[in-house]
Each structure stands twice: as structure tokens, then as C-alpha cells.
């Protein structure tokens, strides 16, 4: 039977028509009648993915050495009892702090995420401070840490007014590949058709750069340098909104003094954009207040990435483009001032010493520090890990380091739908249901409603929430957690879900109020200004200053680090861009997808390819301070001096090219943004040679 549904392969929310017979998914096609209708290559082969060889269908217990991937099938009771015993034994031998969890991109925004935060978390209830998530390397810096320390707001409280903009600046976001239904790119194209200009700042031309009126090919990691240059010109030439700055901005003088010490020529060399183009951008940008920013996670992965993100909000703020028609509309009222979480009592979570502000913003461990805790006992030994819907070994830097860490564990439990590199090292692997097979929370005008599973569970798979609950109950910490389907339904209707919306559909268009910082309606206390500690837009952040961090948006070039010099590594590598064919580690493990995208390609511009003797389709070697690997080259639109390599490989379950072409083997766990603790995925010094 065919019916309208939402695709259940990922959380993209694409509207589809499903063909379901006798509880099985037979086929999927796009819902052409819906504005959210779209079907990516993964969604199109949903039946093969759900019922194929890569699907985990039964509980498994390891029989071979860690990493061999040898298992036997087990009953649910045996597997749950054994997993609980391993967790209990590890906690008794090494203490509860020796246990950690990781909730990955595969379950982002889904109900199971509630089990990774207090008070639901089984590990928290056991006494461990080390629940972690994919927030350790994705989104938190750009969506929360940066805007909160400038405006006192999160990204979800701001809305680019694309429909009324004269100028749309796309910076750090490729809406052609990172948005399920691709709503934003449709909005941008419509703006272009009515006459708005689109500027795209991106090392790659692919996607948004191809439709831009002006594509600015920035060097990987050079965003902070470019933003600093723009602000230097605007501030020194007094092209900002002077009344706004005088009344509502903190730190202008201190920041201006910092910028005065920077050279446009040096900043130009660091970002790869000429001073002439910097001035051209400023001229177009300051010609209107109707300029909006379309941004995402692209600026999160450099040495001072959080500060680069902060610079963008300063740029829009001081030039009068906040809460204005056609600018960045602040879609909120009565916002309380954000309170940074204080350090927990007892054991500090992993990463607290290196990036304490990360915990302050999300109350989770920074998972970048997990391998060091296992291999070096720093800050204390960690010996147990629970992985839910993710693959740290292929999504974090230094894949081999993760494999070594897994080999030292006493306990590794995996809950997933598909086999991952991490599952090869697990003691117990639990099969959990996909979105298609699960009870789902759906939004409505009244709030949360539940949608029953569309298809029967594959094999013996169960709802991940119920699996975690059973583990918790066996560990003696399951109070209040659902154990039956009926209890799960009640729990889903009331429990806060991290990284999810409020599940309320608001129909109609509310009358907009602009410049709410003047009337006082932006802040909860009714006073004019912004919901920051100072009540002002904070170029110099109170939170950062109180925590010993440079308060203004400082830029530090990665070339200043030892061993990162241009002579040894003349180019810069970026990675991590999204693909319409793959989602993280999901894709390269399916032959239907690798027929479309058979291998990871090194993208290089024609100018650099000619200098290095690289041919399109030729083999090259890429060397970074961490490692080296060989790839096939693709000559295309990339910033001169930069290369791009896609992520998503490195697993034994991938085809050979993707298995051997895992770009994260080239990235470093130690080169990080000091505020967020995020890795410098998009600013990696490297050299490339033709083979």
C-alpha cells in the first residue's frame, strides 16, 4: 500500500511516498506534491539498506579478538545480562568515572539522546561524568557557543530574512548538500530571481558556489582572517552604525585597537583573498541593511574557529543588520540571560581541563579526549564505552588511535542499525530499529504527537530507548525509564529531547517586531539591549573574559604552530563537507552508493594541478603532519592553495577505495580550537605530489 510519509533512513525530514506490504518496506519514491519532497540515493534504496547484509539483525557477543569482527548470535536476555555485567565489573574495578558513552550523528535529535544527559543517563546514575555526543565535533560551536557569547542567543533564535534581502551571504554552509529537503537553496534561488545578489564564501565551488553571483574561494581555515579584515576596514573607515555601537555594543575600543595591529596584506595571505576583493565585499555589504547570513558548521574547524564564528555576528551587528527587514531577524522575545553551567562536583568530565567552556555550554564530556584517557590515563583511566548510533573511529581524527584505544578497553557496547568500524571491536552489539521501525515523535499545533512504526522491526531489532532502559534496570539504575512499548509512548510525550525542537507547529505568520533590543521585548527583564551578561552585543565577551579566554574575536593562523610551516606543507586541506549520496559513515558501506561515488577524490584547482603536474583522474599522495594517504585527483573549482577530501571512509565495511581513503587518518587529535575543543578538520597544512 502506498502512502505519504517522511523518509526514515536519516533525520533529514524529506517527504516521500512509501510502498509497504505486510509490514515490509517494498519501495520509496519522492512525494512530488510536497514542498519538502525529495529522495536522495540513500532514501531511494531504503529497502536494500534496511534488509541488506550491513544491517545488524540479532544481538551479538564477541568470540574473537577485539577488531576481528567475530561474533556469535545471542538471545536478548543473554546479551543484556552480559553487557550489564561487563559495565558493572568495569565500574567496580576502576570506578564509575572509567565509563563513557558516545551518542552519534545517527541518533541526533532522536529520543535516545535523552539517555546521554542527566538525569536520564544510566552512566550518570552510576556516577560517571562522561556522557558525550557528536556535539564534541559538530554544530555546538557555531549554533550555541559563538552566538551566545556575542548576542546571548542561539542560532535557532535567529532567522535569515532571505525573502526580503538585497544581499544573501552564504558562508560556511552548502545548502546544495547539507539540507535534506533542500529548502534553503530553493529560497536563495527565489531571492536571486527577484534580484537579490548571492555571495558565497567557500573553499569549494561545488554546490552553492556554482549558483553564486560572486564565489569567493577562501583558503581552508582562513575565515577568521577574512572576517577580521572586513571588520578592520569597516571599523577604521567608520562604516558601521555609530548610534547602535555607542548604545548597544561592548568592547568596540579594545577590538579596534587589536585590529589596528593587523595588516590587510598579512590577512590577505592567510585567507587567500586579495585586499581589492576585501574592499569590494565591504562596499557591497555596507550598501544595504538588507543583507542576511546563511551559515552553518563550516567555520567550526580551525585553530580559532569559535572566534571566527563570533566575528560574523559582530560583522552583522555593528553594520545594522540585526533584527531588521531583510537582515537577520531575531525570532524570539523575552529571552533570559544564558547561564554557563558550573563545574560538576566530584570527578571532572573528559576534556574539562582542555576546553572547560564546552562543558559549560552543554554539560557533557568533550569526546576528543577519550583516546588520551584510555591510552595515557589522562586525566584518569577510562576502560568502558557505550556507543549509540555513531562511529568515532571514522568521524574523529586519527582513526588508528581510536582503534588502539578500543583494543585497551575492558568493555565496549554498541547499539546501532548497521555494522560500523567500532562494532568490530565491541564485546556486545545490539540491533536497534531504524526511524521506519520506531515510534516517532511528530510535531503538531497542539505539541508532540506519536506516529506508530511504519514497518515491522527487522530481525530481532528493538527500540534503542528500550534497550538502554533494560541495561539501566539490570544495573539497578532504571527507575523512571520505560520498559514496555506502552511506557515508552508515555515517556516520549513528556521527556525533553536534546538537540530537538519544541515539536509545535505554528500556523500563520506572526506580526514581526523589528529592533526589539530598543523596546526591551528581546530580554526577559524587559530592559533594552541583548540577553548577554552586560546587556549589550558583546564584541568582548563577558563569559570568555571570566574564563581566561581572549574576549574579542582573535584570529590565530594555523601556520604559527610548530611544524605547520608553508615550506614543509605548502597547501591547506579541508574535509567534512556533506554529500547528497552519503551521510557520515553511512553510504560508502553500500555497493549501490559506491557505484555512484566509488572513491574519495582529492579536489584541486586547475592552477595548482598544473604547477604540481597533477592530471584529472591521476593518483596523488597527500601528506599532513599526522599521516599520509593516496587518492585520485579531481581538478575542479577549489581555492588556489587548498584541497578538499571527503570524509566518510576508513571502515572495514567500506569498499576498498573508501576503506583505504579515510581522510580522518590525516587529521590530528591535538590541533584544536581552544574554546570548543573541536578538531581543525578544515585547516590542515599538507603537501600534495603526483604519483
Domain boundaries, the chain: 2-51, 60-139+340-492, 154-335+513-546, 558-690
**Contact 300/171 with Cβ under 8 angstroms?**
no
Residue 72 backbone phi and psi in degrees, to 5: -125, 150
SS3 144: helix
DSSP H or E run through 671: none
Question: pLDDT grade, residue 381 (50/70/90)?
Answer: very high
Lowest mean pLDDT segment, chosen from 48-62, 454-468, 500-514, 578-592: 500-514
Is the dihedral angle over the CA atoms 533, 534, 535, 536 positive or is it negative? Answer: negative
pLDDT at 445 over 80: no
The predicted structure's pLDDT at residue 276: 98
Cβ count near 366 (within 10 Å)? 28
Q: How far is CA 655 from the centre of its chain?
A: 25
pLDDT at 372 over 90: yes
Report CA-CA distances (Å) from 239 to 235, 267, 312, 430: 6, 20, 16, 59
**Is the domain covering 60-139+340-492 a CATH 3.40.50.740 domain?**
yes
**557 DSSP assignment:** -
Percent helix, percent strand, percent coil in the chain, to nearest 5: 35, 20, 50
Q: Give the closest residue to 523 by CA, choosing from 337, 339, 340.
A: 337
The predicted structure's pLDDT at residue 584: 78
The predicted structure's pLDDT at residue 176: 87
**Contact 522/332 with Cβ under 8 angstroms?**
yes
The predicted structure's pLDDT at residue 11: 82
> In whole angstroms, what is the distance from residue 254 CA to residue 234 CA?
15
Residue 149 backbone phi and psi in degrees, to 5: -85, 0
3-state secondary structure 90-109: HHHHHCHHHEEEEECHHHCC
Question: pLDDT grade, residue 541 (50/70/90)?
Answer: very high
The predicted structure's pLDDT at residue 291: 98
> In whole angstroms, what is the distance from residue 310 CA to residue 555 CA?
11
Residue 469 backbone phi and psi in degrees, to 5: -60, -45
**Contact 178/40 with Cβ under 8 angstroms?**
no
- The edge-to-edge listing of strands for the beta sheet with 291-295 is 214-216, 197-201, 167-171, 291-295
* Domain 154-335+513-546, CATH among 3.40.50.2300, 1.10.1740.10, 3.40.228.10, 3.40.50.300: 3.40.228.10
Q: Give the closest residue to 432 by CA, choosing from 139, 76, 155.
A: 76
pLDDT at 367 over 80: yes
pLDDT at 133 over 90: yes
DSSP 321-335: -BSSTTSEEE--SSB
The predicted structure's pLDDT at residue 441: 85
> Apex CA 135: angle with CA 133 and CA 140, to 5°?
160
SS3 289: coil
DSSP H or E run through 657: helix 656-660
**641 DSSP assignment:** T
**Contact 305/676 with Cβ under 8 angstroms?**
yes
Cβ count near 28 (within 10 Å)? 24
pLDDT at 646 over 90: yes
SS3 573: strand
Lowest mean pLDDT segment, chosen from 125-134, 295-304, 374-383, 576-585: 576-585
> In whole angstroms, what is the distance from residue 553 CA to residue 313 CA?
10
> In whole angstroms, what is the distance from residue 587 CA to residue 649 CA?
9
All cell numbers assigned to 429: 552489539
For residue 504, with 0-12 CB atoms within 10 Å meaning exposed, 13-18 middle and 19 or more buried, which class applies?
A: exposed
> In whole angstroms, what is the distance from residue 420 CA to residue 107 CA?
14
Mean of the per-residue pLDDT values of the chain: 94
pLDDT in tens, 507-518: 655 789 999 999
Which of residues 495 and 255 earns the better pLDDT score?
255
> In whole angstroms, what is the distance from residue 464 CA to residue 453 CA?
13
The predicted structure's pLDDT at residue 499: 64
Instruction: State percent of the chain over pLDDT 70.
Output: 98
Fold of 2-51: N-terminal domain of TfIIb (2.20.25)
pLDDT at 127 over 90: yes
pLDDT at 506 over 70: no
pLDDT at 523 over 60: yes
Mark 552-561 as b/e (b = at least 16 C-beta within 10 Å). bbbbbbbbee
> In whole angstroms, what is the distance from residue 648 CA to residue 391 CA?
10
pLDDT at 71 over 70: yes
Q: Rounded to two decimals, what is the model's pTM? A: 0.96
Beta bridge partners of 73: 60
pLDDT in tens, 451-492: 899 999 999 999 999 999 999 999 999 999 999 999 999 999
Task: Specify the CATH architecture of the domain 558-690.
Answer: Beta Barrel (2.40)
> In whole angstroms, what is the distance from residue 681 CA to residue 395 CA?
10
Paired sense of beta strands 601-604 and 197-201, if any = unpaired
pLDDT at 495 over 90: no
Question: pLDDT grade, residue 672 (50/70/90)?
Answer: very high
The predicted structure's pLDDT at residue 446: 78
CB contact set of 640 (below 8 Å; sequence gap of 6+): 217, 272, 605, 607, 608
pLDDT at 230 over 60: yes
Residue 236 backbone phi and psi in degrees, to 5: -70, -25
> In whole angstroms, what is the distance from residue 523 CA to residue 527 CA?
6
Amino acid at each position: 500500500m502506498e502512502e505519504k510519509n517522511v523518509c526514515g533512513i536519516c533525520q533529514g525530514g524529506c517527504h516521500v511516498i512509501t510502498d509497504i506490504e505486510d509490514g515490509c518496506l517494498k519501495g520509496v519514491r519522492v512525494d512530488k506534491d510536497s514542498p519538502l519532497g525529495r529522495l536522495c540515493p540513500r532514501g531511494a534504496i531504503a529497502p536494500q539498506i534496511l534488509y541488506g547484509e550491513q544491517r545488524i539483525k540479532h544481538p551479538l557477543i564477541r568470540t574473537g579478538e577485539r577488531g576481528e569482527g567475530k561474533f556469535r548470535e545471542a538471545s536478548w536476555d543473554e546479551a543484556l545480562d552480559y553487557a550489564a555485567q561487563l559495565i558493572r565489573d568495569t565500574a567496580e574495578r576502576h570506578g564509575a568515572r572509567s565509563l563513557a558513552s558516545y551518542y552519534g550523528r545517527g541518533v541526533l535529535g532522536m529520543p535516545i539522546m535523552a539517555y546521554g544527559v542527566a538525569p536520564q543517563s544510566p552512566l550518570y546514575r552510576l556516577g560517571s561524568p562522561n556522557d558525550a555526543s557528536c556535539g564534541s565535533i559538530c554544530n555546538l560551536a557555531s549554533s550555541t557557543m559563538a552566538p551566545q557569547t556575542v548576542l546571548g542567543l542561539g542560532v535557532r533564535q535567529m532567522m535569515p530574512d532571505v525573502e526580503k534581502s538585497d544581499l544573501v551571504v552564504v558562508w560556511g554552509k552548502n545548502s546544495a548538500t547539507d539540507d535534506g529537503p533542500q529548502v534553503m537553496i530553493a529560497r536563495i534561488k527565489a531571492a536571486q530571481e527577484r534580484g537579490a545578489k548571492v555571495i558565497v564564501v567557500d573553499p569549494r565551488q561545488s554546490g552553492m558556489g556554482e549558483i553564486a553571483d560572486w564565489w569567493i574561494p577562501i583558503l581552508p581555515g582562513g575565515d577568521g582572517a577574512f572576517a577580521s579584515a572586513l571588520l578592520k576596514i569597516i571599523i577604521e573607515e567608520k562604516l558601521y552604525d555609530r548610534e547602535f555601537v555607542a548604545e548597544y555594543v561592548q568592547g568596540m575600543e579594545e577590538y579596534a585597537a587589536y585590529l589596528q595591529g593587523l595588516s590587510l596584506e598579512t590577512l590577505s595571505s592567510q585567507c587567500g583573498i586579495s585586499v581589492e576583493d576585501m574592499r569590494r565585499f565591504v562596499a557591497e555589504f555596507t550598501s544595504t541593511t538588507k543583507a542576511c547570513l546563511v551559515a552553518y558548521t563550516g567555520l567550526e574547524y580551525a585553530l580559532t574557529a569559535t572566534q571566527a564564528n563570533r566575528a560574523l555576528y559582530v560583522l552583522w551587528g555593528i553594520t545594522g543588520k540585526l533584527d531588521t527587514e531583510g537582515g537577520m531577524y531575531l525570532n524570539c522575545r523575552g529571552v533570559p540571560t544564558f547561564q554557563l553551567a558550573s563545574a560538576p562536583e566530584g570527578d571532572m568530565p573528559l576534556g574539562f581541563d582542555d576546553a572547560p567552556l564546552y562543558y559549560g555550554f552543554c554539560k557533557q564530556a568533550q569526546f576528543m579526549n577519550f583516546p588520551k584517557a584510555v591510552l595515557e590515563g589522562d586525566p584518569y583511566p577510562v576502560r568502558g564505552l557505550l556507543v549509540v548510533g555513531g562511529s568515532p573511529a571514522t568521524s574523529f581524527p586519527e582513526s588508528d588511535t581510536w582503534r588502539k584505544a578500543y583494543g585497551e578497553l575492558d568493555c565496549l557496547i554498541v547499539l546501532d542499525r548497521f555494522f560500523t568500524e567500532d562494532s568490530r571491536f565491541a564485546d556486545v552489539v545490539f540491533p536497534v530499529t531504524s526511524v521506519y521501525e520506531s515510534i516517532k515523535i511528530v510535531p503538531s499545533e497542539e505539541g508532540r504527537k506519536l506516529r506508530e512504526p511504519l514497518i515491522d522491526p527487522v530481525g530481532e531489532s528493538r527500540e534503542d530507548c528500550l534497550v538502554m532502559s533494560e541495561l539501566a534496570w539490570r544495573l539497578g539504575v532504571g527507575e523512571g525509564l520505560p520498559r514496555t512499548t506502552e511506557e515508552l509512548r508515555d515517556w516520549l510525550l513528556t521527556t525533553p529531547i536534546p538537540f530537538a525542537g519544541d515539536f509545535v507547529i505554528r500556523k500563520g505568520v506572526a506580526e514581526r517586531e523589528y529592533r526589539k533590543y530598543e523596546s526591551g521585548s528581546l530580554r526577559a527583564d524587559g530592559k533594552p539591549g541583548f540577553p548577554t551578561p552586560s546587556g549589550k552585543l558583546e564584541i568582548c565577551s563577558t563569559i570568555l573574559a571570566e574564563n581566561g579566554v581572549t574576549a574579542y574575536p582573535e584570529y590565530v593562523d594555523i601556520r604559527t604552530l610548530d611544524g605547520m610551516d608553508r615550506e614543509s606543507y605548502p597547501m591547506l586541506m579541508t574535509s567534512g563537507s556533506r554529500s547528497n549520496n552519503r551521510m557520515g559513515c553511512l553510504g560508502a558501506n553500500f555497493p549501490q552508493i559506491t557505484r555512484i561515488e566509488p572513491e574519495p577524490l582529492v579536489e584541486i584547482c586547475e592552477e595548482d594541478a598544473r604547477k604540481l603536474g597533477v592530471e584529472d583522474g591521476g593518483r596523488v599522495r597527500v601528506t599532513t603532519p599526522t599521516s599520509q594517504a593516496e587518492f585520485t585527483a579531481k581538478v575542479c573549482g577549489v581555492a588556489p592553495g587548498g584541497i578538499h577530501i571527503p570524509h566518510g571512509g576508513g571502515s572495514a565495511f567500506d569498499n576498498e577505495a573508501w576503506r583505504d581513503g579515510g581522510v580522518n587518518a590525516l587529521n590530528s587529535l591535538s590541533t584544536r580550537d581552544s574554546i570548543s575543543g573541536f578538531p581543525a578538520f578544515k585547516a590542515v597544512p599538507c603537501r600534495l605530489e603526483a604519483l
